[in-house]
């Protein structure tokens, strides 16, 4: 029996998307830790991200101020959350995203224990602009130096962080739940039938990738449309809003692509995922995205862009296929699925087993729980622990 601890969770928080790292840990990991007898306090911006549907005893949320701008809100929320957590009774701070590493000076100077979950390579990628890139890189350097433990989600990220910062990292991936169909009739108003379409997510692909995949579908000769799920809360002028995606796809791709507005984690989204002939996945730049795990949890046949994280999740092709960034290759992979019906069926049968054996949230919670309890039993300052 592990001793019970009090965990404060803070970090950079972006828009409410299908699964941002902070929101994912807040809604999936935190309640499970509380069910095991631990106390968890979430420090988040007011009205930011999804809330836990049933809050177990021991789970508390502290609403924090933040600005309207996404980056400004993330930084101010992280700053205020870290300060409040330092003034509270938490035994350990779980900081989500390496970009908030600067704020770890507060708990470090007060002798608090810190576990840093880096949120992929987002803080190390040079794609945010000169000022933001410099901030994130230096923040990651400070955060990794001050943290008692550094957690990464993939072997690829672990190699990069350990080589760059010379500090051992813990590998704890994201998790997923098993998803089943409860209301397949939701597909009918969209003109869709089970197994009659390919599914992808607009926010993960971007317009360029969507066009590439749709063109690959056209070249393959498949009669199944490419269904692009667009987030409902995006404003009309957002490049990945339903109206903009529909206009672009109709102008350039005709009827081979269908855009649908899907609220995150809705019943419609779950039905689309479960009944797709195949789910086409791409990780956003710098960050492994757990949507690929959700697809496996729904029993989907996964066709993933060839990335280190996708290869890790799909075990080098044992649980799905890979595509590269060319319409020709996408067409080849789609034809392979279309002409070999036993292949996608085999992947569907293996999908949920992969989650149960490696990526279930209960297993991920076990790994976080052991790590957090272990850190609480050690010296707070990493320099003392490592000496």
* pLDDT for position 18: 36
Q: Among all chains, which residue has been given the structure tokens 């433990």? A: 149
Q: Match domain 6-175+361-386 to its CATH number in 3.40.50.2000, 2.60.40.1120, 3.30.470.20, 3.40.50.2300.
A: 3.40.50.2000
Q: Say if residue 386's pLDDT is above 50.
A: no
Span 184-359: which CATH code?
3.40.50.2000
Find out whether 301 and 281 touch, Cβ atoms under 8 Å. no
Quote the CA–CA distance of 226 and 218 in Å, as a whole number.
9
pLDDT band of 254, cuts 50, 70, 90: low
Which whole number is the average pLDDT over 163-188? 96
Q: What distances in angstroms separate CA 351 from CA 124, 294, 310, 378, one per listed residue? A: 32, 10, 14, 39
Find out whether 115 and 93 touch, Cβ atoms under 8 Å. yes
pLDDT band of 40, cuts 50, 70, 90: very high
DSSP class per residue in 333-352:
HHHHHHH-THHHHHHHHHHH
Find out whether 302 and 277 touch, Cβ atoms under 8 Å. no
Using DSSP, state whether 141 is helix, strand or coil: helix
The burial class, CB within 10 Å (0-12 / 13-18 / 19+), for 27 is middle
Kindly report the number of other CB atoms within 10 A of residue 42's CB atom. Answer: 26
pLDDT band of 385, cuts 50, 70, 90: very low
Q: Say if residue 225's pLDDT is above 60.
A: yes
* pLDDT for position 363: 97
Answer with the residue of higher pLDDT: 177 or 58.
177
Q: Say if residue 16's pLDDT is above 50.
A: no
Which whole number is the average pLDDT over 92-99? 93
Please state, rounded to an integer, the average pLDDT across all residues of the chain. 86
* pLDDT for position 384: 42
Both tokens assigned to 310: 């996708």
> Minimum mean pLDDT among 143-152, 220-229, 247-256: which range?
247-256
Q: Say if residue 368's pLDDT is above 80.
A: yes
Find out whether 224 and 185 touch, Cβ atoms under 8 Å. no
* pLDDT for position 33: 97
Which whole number is the average pLDDT over 287-295? 88
pLDDT band of 52, cuts 50, 70, 90: low
Find out whether 225 and 197 touch, Cβ atoms under 8 Å. yes
Share of the chain above pLDDT 90, in %: 60
pTM, whole model, 2 decimals? 0.89
Quote the CA–CA distance of 299 and 90 in Å, as a whole number.
39
Close Cβ partners of 250 (under 8 Å, ≥ 6 residues apart) = none
pLDDT band of 344, cuts 50, 70, 90: very high
> In the chain, where does the domain assigned CATH 3.40.50.2000 lie?
6-175+361-386, 184-359
Share of the chain above pLDDT 70, in %: 84
Which whole number is the average pLDDT over 158-186? 95
Answer with the residue of higher pLDDT: 158 or 47.
158
pLDDT band of 250, cuts 50, 70, 90: low
* pLDDT for position 210: 84
* pLDDT for position 317: 96
pLDDT band of 51, cuts 50, 70, 90: low
Quote the CA–CA distance of 361 and 270 in Å, as a whole number.
18
Quote the CA–CA distance of 9 and 59 in Å, as a whole number.
11
Quote the CA–CA distance of 97 and 283 in Å, as a whole number.
17
């Amino acid at each position: 029996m592990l001793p019970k601890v009090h965990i404060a969770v803070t970090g950079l928080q972006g828009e409410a998307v299908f699964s941002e790292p902070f929101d994912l840990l807040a809604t999936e990991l935190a309640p499970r830790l509380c069910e095991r007898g631990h106390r968890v306090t979430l420090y988040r911006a007011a009205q930011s991200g999804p809330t836990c549907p049933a809050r177990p005893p021991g789970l508390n949320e502290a609403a924090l101020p933040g600005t309207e701008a996404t980056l400004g809100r993330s930084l101010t929320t992280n700053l205020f959350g870290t300060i409040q957590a330092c003034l509270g009774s938490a035994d350990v701070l779980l900081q989500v995203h390496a970009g908030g590493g600067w704020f770890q000076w507060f708990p470090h100077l007060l002798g608090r224990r810190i576990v840093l979950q880096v949120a992929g390579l987002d803080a190390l990628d040079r794609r945010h602009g000169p000022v933001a890139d410099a901030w994130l890189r230096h923040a990651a350097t400070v955060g990794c130096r001050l943290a008692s433990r550094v957690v990464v989600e993939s072997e690829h990220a672990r190699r990069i962080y350990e080589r760059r910062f010379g500090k051992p990292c813990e590998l704890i991936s994201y998790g997923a739940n098993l998803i089943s169909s409860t209301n397949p009739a939701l597909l009918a108003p969209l003109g869709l039938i089970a197994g009659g379409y390919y599914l992808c997510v607009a926010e993960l692909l971007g317009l360029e990738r969507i066009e590439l995949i749709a063109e690959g579908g056209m070249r393959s000769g498949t009669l199944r449309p490419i269904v692009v799920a667009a987030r409902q809360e995006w404003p009309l002028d957002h490049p990945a809003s339903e109206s903009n995606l529909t206009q672009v796809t109709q102008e350039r791709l005709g009827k081979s692509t269908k855009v649908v507005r899907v609220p995150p984690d809705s019943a419609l989204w779950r039905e689309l995922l479960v009944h797709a002939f195949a789910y086409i996945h791409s990780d956003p730049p710098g960050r492994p995205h757990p949507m690929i795990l959700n697809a496996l949890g729904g029993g989907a046949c996964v066709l993933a862009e060839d990335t280190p994280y996708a290869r890790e999740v799909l075990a080098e092709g044992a649980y799905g296929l890979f595509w590269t960034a060319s319409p020709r290759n996408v067409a080849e992979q789609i034809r392979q699925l279309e002409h070999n019906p036993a292949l996608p069926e085999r992947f569907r049968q293996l999908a949920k087993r992969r989650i149960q054996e490696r990526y279930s949230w209960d297993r991920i919670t076990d790994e976080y729980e052991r790590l957090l309890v272990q850190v609480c039993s050690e010296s707070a300052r990493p320099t003392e622990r490592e000496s």
